[in-house]
Amino acid sequence: MEITIDITSPVFPYVQIATQLREAIAQGKYTDVIPSLWDIANDAGVSYNTARRAVKILKDEGLVEAIPGRGTFIRRHER
């Protein structure tokens, strides 16, 4: 997945990244694990900390869960 940042947008880059990741998860582009923070940062052309802030939004929403040393996984919600 290519993450793009609109530098003319008033929306912060980390919010743009979180939105794109959320949409990719909803569309089934990621089914188990999302890219690493380094991969997100490199793909979007942002700092590691910006990528970390984006993923933190998804963690706070309960959409993903980080497992140290393994990755950031999409949480499964029982219906």
pLDDT tens column, 4-31: 999 999 999 999 999 999 999 999 999 9
Token pair for residue 4? 């793009």
The domains found in the chain, sorted by start residue, are 13-74 (1.10.10.10)
C-alpha dist (Å) from residue 26 to 20, 48, 74: 10, 24, 11
pLDDT of res. 5 = 97
Report CA-CA distances (Å) from 10 to 14, 16, 47, 51: 12, 10, 18, 18
Question: Does residue 79 have a pLDDT over 80?
Answer: no
Please answer whether residues 64 and 55 qualify as being in contact, where contact means their C-beta atoms are separated by less than 8 angstroms.
yes
Asked if the model's pLDDT at residue 62 lies above 80, the reply is: yes
> Does 66 have pLDDT greater than 80?
yes
